[in-house]
Every structure is written in structure tokens, then in C-alpha cells.
Structure 1
Amino acid sequence: MIGIIKRTRGVMAVLGFVALTACSATYQNHGYVPLEEDLQQLVVGVDTRATVDDVIGTPSVAGMLNDGDYYYVRSRVREYGMYRPEVIERQVLAISFAEDDTIANIERFALEDGNIVPLSRRVTDSSVMDNGFLRQILGNFGNIDPSQMFN
């Protein structure tokens, strides 16, 4: 009887330990933002886009145009058990360039500086609805006009 109680206590202790470790938070880091020491090497109005590439590397995101501004983005996400992942830290470093391709401004933003912008993916719907490949091919047999084939 005492052996069963000891075994039950051991199993309960292991289950308790597993339950506690399963609910511990995990963190994921995404992206890259250069260190402040590296940014000190850049001079506004003097250094160019090529200098930025050499000193701190190419950005994770660039502006919409070929000669757009540089954006370095880093996020830290906490996942805790069954709860939705939460962004706990986000930094954005924006380097804008003047017309002569020199650095116009270096700005740093954090999650506290603004609103969270939800990123979404927009996909254009296909005009072909619920039609498989064979249905599309076989569905065109009645639409063929033989007079247009030999014209």
C-alpha cells in the first residue's frame, strides 16, 4: 500500500512539473536593427546609400521605388500557452535619402510610438470559381464555332 502511495506521489510530481513547464513563455525574435555604435559611423548629409550598405548592411525592407528609403525592422513575440502570440517589442529604424542619394534623416521608432498596424495579405480572387482543370476544358466544347477555325 505504501508503495502505491509513493508511486502516485511521484507520478503527480512529474505531472505537476510537466504542467508548469508546458505553460512557460517562449520568445521569438524576428528581423534586424543595427546597433547604435554602428549608426554613429554614419553622417547625415555626407554618407550615401552605398556607405549604409557597407557599414550596417542592406535593409530588411526598402521603399516602394528602386531608390526608396531603408527600413530595418525587429520584433520580439511572446507565446504563452494557449494564448494568442503577443508582440512585446518592435523597433523600426528608418533611413531616408535626399535627391543626391545622401542620408537625409535617421529615425528610430518603437512600438510605444504609434499604433499597431496589422499586416494583411491581399489576394485577387480568380475569375474561375469552383471549376477544375478538366471541367474548364470539357466545358468549352460547346462554345467552339467551326467556322472560326477555318477562317
Structure 2
Amino acid sequence: MAIGQTFPIRQRVRLGLALLVISVTAACSATFNNHGYIPPEEELAAILPGVDTRESVESSVGRPATSGVMRDEAWFYADYRVRNFAYRAPEIIERNIVAISFDDAGVVQNIERFGLEDGQIVPLSRRVTESSVQEITLLRQILQNFGRINVADALGGDT
């Protein structure tokens, strides 16, 4: 092929197909997101149950990031890793939870670690609101109103 000549049509089609396959393959690769924070093991090892208090834990490892993960009896630190893969729903592939529990005086009772394999469910935030409003469908509203209709008023006549 001489300089200045363009690629033949077959080579352009092959090149285009190769670029398409590479693009589709790259778009379907998994992406990972990390969320949360757990104090390093060295800092957790420095916390002594029966000795340290909420204040000393706060100064050494800090408070949990949001108020939704704090309770009076325990603080929960959590981190997790999520895999996003093309059209599939995101999947948590790794989760770690550190629970530092306190007694009534605010002294550390225990430090526990939970992982995804433990299957421990920890409600980090409970926001349950009971509603007194019932969902009423249009058909139900129409049927409930049949007994309340005054025929004379509906027809515009005198009673």
C-alpha cells in the first residue's frame, strides 16, 4: 500500500468492529465504591474495656461519622465495598462493622467486629413512622359515598 492511500473498506470494518468490542467490554467491567470508616486496628487495640470512656474513645478514634449510627449504649463504625456491574443491581461484597459498647456510666464494655460473613444485622438508623392515613382507592371512595347521597338534593327538588 502506497503512502497517502486510505485503508480498504474491509480493514476499516475490522477496525470498527474491534473498537466496538473493546468499548463494550470496557463498559461492562465492574466498578467498585468504598464507603464508611473504621478506625485502624492499632487505635482500637489502645482502647481498654473497663478503663476508657466515651470521651477518651472520642479523642483517640473519633465519633462515628453521622448521628444515625450513634446510640447511648454503643457506637457503630461501618465500612463497606460495593461492586457495580453493568445493568445488575449493586452488590455489597465486603462489610465490616466495629461496635464499641458502653455501660450506663459511659465506660467501654466491649469492642466487637462483625463482617459480611457474620450475617449480623445492625439497624444503623431506625426511622419508623406509623401513619394513621389509610390508602383509599377511588372505587372505595365512590362506594362509601353511596349511603351519604340525598336523592332530593341530587335532583334539585324540594323535600
User: Which category of TM-score, normalised to the shorter sequence, fits these structures?
Assistant: 0.7 to 0.9
Q: How many pairs align?
A: 127
Tell me: CA distance 1:55–1:120, structure 2 relative to 1, closer, same or farther (3 Å): closer
Quote the offset at 1:126 in angstroms.
Answer: 7.9
TM-score using structure 1 length: 0.73
Give ranges in structure 2 of 5+ residues lacking alignment.
Answer: 1-5, 137-159
CA RMSD of aligned residues (A): 2.7
The equivalent of 1:47 in structure 2 is 52
The equivalent of 1:78 in structure 2 is 83
TM-score using structure 2 length: 0.70
Quote the offset at 1:20 in angstroms.
Answer: 0.7
Tell me: CA distance 1:17–1:121, structure 2 relative to 1, closer, same or farther (3 Å): farther
Query: Identity across aligned pairs (percent)?
Result: 43
The equivalent of 1:25 in structure 2 is 30
The equivalent of 1:109 in structure 2 is 114
The equivalent of 2:96 in structure 1 is 91
1:75 and 1:109 mapped to 2: Cα distance?
A: 12
The equivalent of 1:62 in structure 2 is 70
Tell me: CA distance 1:105–1:53, structure 2 relative to 1, closer, same or farther (3 Å): same
**Post-superposition CA distance 1:84-129 (Å, at most 9, x none):** 1111011110000122211100000001112567999756558498
Tell me: CA distance 1:59–1:117, structure 2 relative to 1, closer, same or farther (3 Å): closer
Q: Secondary structure at the match of 1:84?
A: coil
Quote the offset at 1:40 in angstroms.
Answer: 1.4
Q: 1:5 aligns with which of 10, 17, 24?
A: 10
Tell me: CA distance 1:45–1:83, structure 2 relative to 1, closer, same or farther (3 Å): same
Tell me: CA distance 1:121–1:86, structure 2 relative to 1, closer, same or farther (3 Å): farther
Does structure 1 conserve the Cα–Cα contact (< 8 Å) formed by 2:76 and 2:98? yes
Is the deviation greater in 114-123 or in 52-61?
114-123
The equivalent of 2:147 in structure 1 is none
Give ranges in structure 1 of 5+ residues lacking alignment.
Answer: 131-151
